[in-house]
Amino acid sequence: MNRFLQNIRRPEGFGGSVAAFLMNHKHATLSDWGISRLNLKEEKDILDIGCGGGRNLAALLERCRHSRAVGIDYSGVSVRRAMRKNRKYIEENRCRILRMPVSGLPIWGRKFDLATVFETVYFRPDMKDSFRRIYSSLRPGGSFMICSEADGTDVSKARWESQISGMRICRRDELEEILWSTGFMEVTVYRKPEKGWLCITAKRGIEQNKANRKYVGL
C-alpha cells in the first residue's frame, strides 16, 4: 500500500496510471469548489501546475470557452493521461500539456493571466522559489490560486506526511506569508472548516498591501 501511495507524489508505471485516474475523480468536488472562487468570465491564458490526470484543465477550459491553457507535470504518466483527457482541446489548439518541473517556468515570463495549483502544493521542496517562478510567469494583474484538501489544522491528515515521501502540509498562514513575501497582493483565503479544505487566491502586484488580506469561511 505504501508503494502505491508514493504515486500520489509522482505517478509512475501502471500503479501511477491508476493513481492519476483515481485522483481525477477523488478530488473533483474539491477542485470545483476552488474553481468556483475564481472569476472565469474573461478570456484567459491559464497555467495549471502539476496538472496530474488533466481533469482540472478540462474543467477550466469548459468554463472558459475562449481561453487557452498549458498544463505542466513532471510525471510522464500524468502527462500522457492528461493529454488523453484533453484531446479535444489539444486538437482545437486551446491546450498544451508538457512534461516539465516548476523550475521550467521562467522561460515563459509574464505570459499567463491565471496560474493554478491543485493539491500538489504539498510537494514543493522550496516553496519560496516555486512561488517566485509562478509569480514571474504571470502578467501584471494575473491571479494565482492554491487549492488543497488539507489546511494543516486536521491532525488526522498529518499522517499522510509519514506515508508519502516528500509530502509536507503547510498551514494557511505559512502559505499566505510566502505569497506576500514573493510580491503577491490581494491575498484572499477561503476555507471549508468542516472538511479542512483550503483555497487561497492572490494577484501579481508591484508592492505589498497587507490591508488587502481577506479571510472567508465558506
Position with higher pLDDT, 165 vs 29: 29
Query: Taking the alpha carbons of 125, 60, 31, 171 in that order, is the dihedral positive or negative?
Result: positive
User: What pLDDT shows up at residue 206?
Assistant: 57
Q: Give dist(CA 154, CA 193) in Å, integer.
A: 9
Please report the DSSP string for 58-127 in residue order.
HHHHHH-TT-EEEEEES-HHHHHHHHHHTHHHHHTT-EEEEE--GGGGGGT-S-EEEEEEESGGGG-SSH
CA dihedral 144, 47, 120, 97 (to 10 degrees): 180
Per-position b or e across 16-46, b if 16+ CB within 10 A of its CB: bbebbbebbeebeebbebbbebbebeeebbb
Domain housing 59 = 2-217
User: What pLDDT shows up at residue 42?
Assistant: 79
The CATH number linked to 30 is 3.40.50.150
| Per-residue pLDDT tens over the stretch 40-49 | 877 889 999 9
Q: Is the pLDDT of residue 5 over 50?
A: no
Residues 6+ apart with CB under 8 A from 59: 31, 32, 35
Q: How many domains does the chain have?
A: 1
Residue carrying C-alpha cell 468542516 = 194
Report strand pairing: 197-204 vs 138-148: antiparallel
Q: Is the pLDDT of residue 89 over 50?
A: yes
CA 48 to chain centre: 6
Query: What percentage of residues in the chain have a pLDDT greater than 90?
Result: 47
Mean confidence (pLDDT) of the chain: 80
